[in-house]
Amino acid sequence: MRVVVIFHLVVSLGACFCASNHTNTVQENPIVTVNEGKLRGSMKTLLDRTPYYSFKGIPYAQPPIGELRFRAPLPPKPWQGIRDALEHGPVCPQYDTTISQFVEGSEDCLFVNIYTKSLQKNAKIPVMVYIHGGSFMSGSGDSDTYGPEYLFLHNVILVTLNYRLEALGFLCLDTPEVPGNAGIKDQVLALRWIKRNIAKFGGDPDNITIFGESSGAGAVTYHMLSPMSKGLFHKVIAQSGTAIADWAIGKDAVNRAFRSGKVLGKETNDKGELLAYFRSLPAINLANLTSKTSTAEENLRGLPEYFVPVVEKKFDGVEPFMTEDPVDAVLAKKYNNMPLLIGYNSAEGLIMLEYQLKKAEFMNKHPSYFIPREIAEKVEEQKLKSFGDRVKSFYVGNKSLSNDTAIEIINMQTDIHFGYNTHRFIQFYKDKDTPVYMYRFDYETDLNVVKNSIGLRHMKGACHADDLFYLFYNEFNKDYYNGQEKLREIVFKLTKLWTDFARTGNPTPDGSLGITWKPYSISKREYMKLNEQFSSGQYAERERIEFWDQLYCEAGRPCMNNKKCNL
């Protein structure tokens, strides 16, 4: 009965599994030939019994083991015979912060997963490549979290991927052998593989959208700025993150590498000796170094994300991913210009509330630690203290940070880590010829899995990562989705916005949802309020965003309204 109800909903909403995509005979165990050899996939069924094809655990690189540990990935080697692509490959070694446990996985973890409703080479279906979040230190592209069923209410192909995490992916020694950014170079190689092979799965290699959430959003906006990624994709969706956020830019990477050696038992000043030691260790020993190498300052300021993309030194014969600060790069218009859909959730800071309340007594006395690193490293101590006092006063007035000011704490954390730098990135990126669509996600339903699971259902707004459970089908949301028609309607509408953008570069190209999403302009700063009403607005959180812009200006950092700064 449940399947029948869902089938009728999909039909009534106009979801079309076009016949032209299924004229080929359905294959129980389809064989696809890619550049490296033959792959055997499997046939799966969607919620309405429509068939689709799944190819999991496809290697896009050689295993980065032994001497290849920490290096840029190498293309995969061909294989003989037919390789099964029936199950996910191992996840990359990591400390999973969501369960507070080490996950050993395997260093042989560089795989893509492809889900498609057609295997016709001329189908030219729009391709959506998802890059997972997890602070660059945990997660994978596996379907237990990122199932394709919701996006497959519309005609797209979904590709997910793994990439090396934390120290294994982002160790930097400022040497030709370990210049940094191996994990994001994994993503580049995956995109190159997809570009070469996706037509064999029915995909259009000239219509690829990359999208990601949190650190995944930081990654996709990094790819917009990197010459290494040029030509590999055509549109970008960035959810709750940008490359210019404090937490997305690595600092002091070499010293962190030596601190990592020390906590693991190797105290040395020699980079070669340190590298040899790191390569001698089991991979899982290199996980959770973020917490083990944090300084006292880092424990108080910003988010705990330190093994992240860095600005690379230039070396002969080494292709760099990024050689200048991402803020400078986007200001100088050194980016791959393309349509962008970008935004954040209305109450991102909900996920940080418990931690902020635990240290509220300290922060009441030392609010200067609310100031982002980008500012803190540029101003003298007295000015930093003044800035901190202004932040506290702006959000809570004469009150203290406490349970009584929880909403204000949530707003502050949302603005510091997500809201302001989303606005800032758009203002720096936008030009008259580039369509940008901004949103503010504000749904509050049973699909707000993160907010509800941390016991904050009673609080207003959408928590960090809540949006994922409206886009991907998984064990956490399937019972709610299957049991509530209202939620199925919401999921259909949201995934239509995302997939229409992937298809056309415009989230509302045909008006079929009864709305027109206006592109962002520098003067009006239009955005879409994503909630049950779907309404347009101008300049989200204006007073709060302009407060932070003034601080950045006064600190001498690039800001949105330089002419308004009182330097």
β partners of residue 342: 238, 438
Q: Any catalytic annotation for residue 348? A: yes
Q: State the chain's maximal CA–CA distance in angstroms.
A: 72
- Burial string for 416-433 (b: 16+ CB within 10 Å, else e) reads bbbbbbbbbbbbbbbeee
Which residue do the tokens 């998984």 mark? 474
- Measured torsion, CA atoms of residues 419, 425, 428, 429, in degrees rounded to the nearest 10: -130
Separation between Cα atoms, residue 105 and residue 89, nearest integer Å: 9
Separation between Cα atoms, residue 35 and residue 33, nearest integer Å: 7
Which residue intervals of 166-321 are DSSP H helices? 166-170, 182-197, 215-225, 253-264, 271-280, 289-292, 296-300
Give the Å distances, CA to CA, from 27 to 50, 81, 123, 159, 356: 13, 19, 17, 20, 53
β partners of residue 239: 213, 343
The contacts of residue 184 (CB under 8 Å, 6+ apart) are: 163, 169, 170, 219, 222, 223, 309, 321
Catalytic residue, from 118, 135, 143, 214: name it: 214
Catalytic residue, from 36, 149, 348, 374: name it: 348
Strand 111-116 to 82-84 pairing: unpaired
Nearest CA among 79, 197, 62 for reference residue 129: 197
Residue 33 buriedness (CB in 10 A; 0-12 / 13-18 / 19+): exposed
Nearest CA among 123, 187, 120 for reference residue 159: 187
CA 445 to chain centre: 22
Q: Any catalytic annotation for residue 312? A: no
Separation between Cα atoms, residue 517 and residue 343, nearest integer Å: 13
Strand 51-59 to 125-131 pairing: unpaired
Strand 157-161 to 125-131 pairing: parallel
Give the Å distances, CA to CA, from 320 to 18, 221, 250, 324: 42, 16, 15, 10
CA 201 to chain centre: 25
| Catalytic residue ranges | 214, 348
